[in-house]
Amino acid sequence: MITMNLDTSEFDKVFEEYLTFSKRLPADVVNAKLYYIARNATMTTKRASKDDIESKLRGKANKYDAPLGAINNLKQKDKKVLLVQEWQGNWKS
């Protein structure tokens, strides 16, 4: 398990100050900012070609002697099996 501590004190201070000058609700402010971050990310991210994606998925993974696409499929399959086992009540910790 990965743990992480994040100091948000500076963000909290600036956000509170921003809200004193804004007439919008905090949720509306955050949603608007996130919208523009996502929009700008989609506009500035380089588009990958289909050939590049296919060649990387068919290429060898760094740690395993198997194509990366096959490893990804196995991981997804394992997740689905675990979810089905948990749903059926067969989950054992």
User: What are the pLDDT digits (tens) for 18-52?
Assistant: 999 989 999 999 999 999 999 999 999 988 888 88
Q: What is the reported pLDDT for 39?
A: 95
Q: Is 7 inside any structural domain?
A: no
Q: Is 15 inside any structural domain?
A: no
Q: Is 1 inside any structural domain?
A: no
Q: Is 12 inside any structural domain?
A: no
- CA dist 2 and 52 (Å) reads 31
Torsion of CA 34, 26, 4, 35, to 10 degrees: 0
| 3-state SS class at 29 | helix
Number of domains present in the structure of the chain: 1
- CA dist 42 and 52 (Å) reads 19
Within 8 A by CB and 6+ apart from 19, the residues are 26, 29
Q: Is 80 inside any structural domain?
A: yes
Q: Is 6 inside any structural domain?
A: no
The domain of 71 spans 50-87
Name the pLDDT band for 53 (thresholds 50, 70, 90): confident
Q: Rounded mean pLDDT of 54-76?
A: 64
Averaged pLDDT score across all residues of the chain: 77
| Termini Cα distance of the chain | 15
Q: Is 76 inside any structural domain?
A: yes
Q: Is 3 inside any structural domain?
A: no
